Chain A
């Protein structure tokens, strides 16, 4: 079975269906897109890139995809929980007399989220490593680093393009 077919199927089941979705959206006018949608698109992009970067065979790729998705979900879930607690702390600190008991509880909750997040991520990595050989495990660490850089570059590029568009509009008489 073709690896790209596997990816499309898995992504479709996960709610991405990236290539088909991308081709459909390419011809249509861009609509407003939420941060959550963009984050899911980034996940789909990472999943598609992984196959070629890690040189996964079809069998490996089929087993790798749900595990990689689990790692991404774990990270995102931890980040969301963390952000929520940080917002609570920020709100408490804006008060003239912050409730120390609530602050203490929030800090404790933050600690628990970090601890649980690290443990979940470790389990997810172990699951991924089970389907990869040693070189692929090493490549996967590098791949993740490169993906983070690539995503940041895209965000930066998006900002620059929008800034250029605004400049051109302002220069027009």
Chain B
């Protein structure tokens, strides 16, 4: 068996366990000595300066002691902080730390520059209308008048034509949209006298040089 553990020694010193319950103690001088020292320490802490309880006589500190102690503690704390800061700088400035750190920062910087210098690709125009067109924030337009309403602009346009152009002029205006064969249909609607008039006109045209001229 090995020497007594610190926990067992404390138990023995405080009397939680009896010395006889631990046979090793009778056989080992080192453990007996350690137990005796531990008991002496406990006695000093519990009864300092009391010889009746086995404590040693410890004089009271000087009245200035506490002020000095306080000052020294503040200075020590301040000095330790300075040391800590100095140690931090020293730790970071060590080549094993500084070089990889510098390399990492450089790599990040290069990556950022490359990314920012990448040519801008214009966003493709979406096939569907942008949602902004459907936004409720846009002012809503007044609803259109139903087709054929009294103030329908299309009707106003027709009315303008009706007042400024005669029927024949209107037909002429619409000539551009007439389909092929439209003239044949127009001829059918002519009265006998109008057809005779058209016949005369055609005869005049056909005896003259080209009425269209060179195109």
Q: Does A76 contact B214, Cβ atoms closer than 8 Å?
A: no
- Cβ proximity bits B198-213 to A, threshold 8 Å, 1 near / 0 not: 1111110111011111
Which one, B28-36, B67-75, B125-133, B177-185, is touching chain A? B177-185
State the CA gap A154–B180 with chains docked (Å): 16
State the CA gap A90–B184 with chains docked (Å): 19
Q: Does B171 contact A52, Cβ atoms closer than 8 Å?
A: no
Given A44-B206, A53-B215, A55-B214; A159-B194 close (CB under 8 Å): yes
State the CA gap A154–B203 with chains docked (Å): 11
Given A22-B203, A159-B194; A53-B187 close (CB under 8 Å): no
Question: Does B191 lie at the interface of the complex (its beta carbon under 8 Å from any beta carbon of A)?
Answer: yes
Within 8 A of B (CB), among A94-108: none
Question: Does B52 lie at the interface of the complex (its beta carbon under 8 Å from any beta carbon of A)?
Answer: no
The residue that A35 contacts in the complex, of B172, B195, B205, with Cβ under 8 A, is B195
State how many angstroms separate the Cβ of A92 from the closest Cβ of chain B. Answer: 21
State the CA gap A33–B178 with chains docked (Å): 24
Q: Does A32 contact B207, Cβ atoms closer than 8 Å?
A: no
A39 and chain B: residue at smallest CB distance? B184
Q: Does A26 contact B203, Cβ atoms closer than 8 Å?
A: yes
Question: Does B145 lie at the interface of the complex (its beta carbon under 8 Å from any beta carbon of A)?
Answer: no
State the CA gap A83–B210 with chains docked (Å): 32
A160 and chain B: residue at smallest CB distance? B168
Q: Does B199 contact A151, Cβ atoms closer than 8 Å?
A: no
Q: Does B207 contact A23, Cβ atoms closer than 8 Å?
A: yes
Q: Does A153 contact B212, Cβ atoms closer than 8 Å?
A: no
Q: Does B209 contact A152, Cβ atoms closer than 8 Å?
A: no
Question: Does B197 lie at the interface of the complex (its beta carbon under 8 Å from any beta carbon of A)?
Answer: yes
Question: Does A123 lie at the interface of the complex (its beta carbon under 8 Å from any beta carbon of B)?
Answer: no
Residues of B contacting A26 in the complex (Cβ-Cβ under 8 angstroms):
203, 207
- Cβ proximity bits A29-48 to B, threshold 8 Å, 1 near / 0 not: 01111110111011011001
Q: Does B182 contact A158, Cβ atoms closer than 8 Å?
A: no
Question: Does A161 lie at the interface of the complex (its beta carbon under 8 Å from any beta carbon of B)?
Answer: yes
- How many A-B Cβ pairs are below 8 Å? 137
Residues of A contacting B194 in the complex (Cβ-Cβ under 8 angstroms):
158-159, 162
State the CA gap A49–B184 with chains docked (Å): 18
The residue that A148 contacts in the complex, of B178, B196, B200, B202, with Cβ under 8 A, is B178
Given A75-B181, A155-B190, A162-B191; A52-B214 close (CB under 8 Å): yes
State how many angstroms separate the Cβ of A116 from the closest Cβ of chain B. Answer: 15
Given A33-B199, A148-B182, A162-B197; A139-B215 close (CB under 8 Å): yes
Question: Does B154 lie at the interface of the complex (its beta carbon under 8 Å from any beta carbon of A)?
Answer: no
- Cβ proximity bits B120-161 to A, threshold 8 Å, 1 near / 0 not: 000000000000000000000000000000000000000000
Q: Does B199 contact A38, Cβ atoms closer than 8 Å?
A: yes
- The list of the 6 closest CB pairs from A to B, nearest first, reads A158-B198, A79-B181, A52-B210, A158-B197, A156-B168, A22-B203
- Contacts beyond the supplied A149-B172, A153-B172, A158-B194: 19 A-B pairs with Cβ under 8 Å: A19-B207, A22-B207, A26-B207, A31-B196, A32-B195, A35-B184, A41-B202, A41-B206, A49-B212, A75-B181, A146-B215, A151-B183, A155-B187, A155-B198, A156-B168, A158-B201, A159-B190, A161-B197, A162-B193
Chain B interface residues (CB < 8 Å from chain A) = 168-169, 171-172, 175-176, 178, 180-188, 190-203, 205-207, 209-215
User: 19 A-B Cβ contacts within 8 A?
Assistant: A19-B206, A30-B199, A32-B196, A34-B195, A38-B190, A39-B187, A44-B206, A45-B202, A54-B215, A75-B181, A79-B184, A79-B185, A146-B212, A146-B215, A149-B175, A150-B211, A151-B183, A159-B194, A160-B168
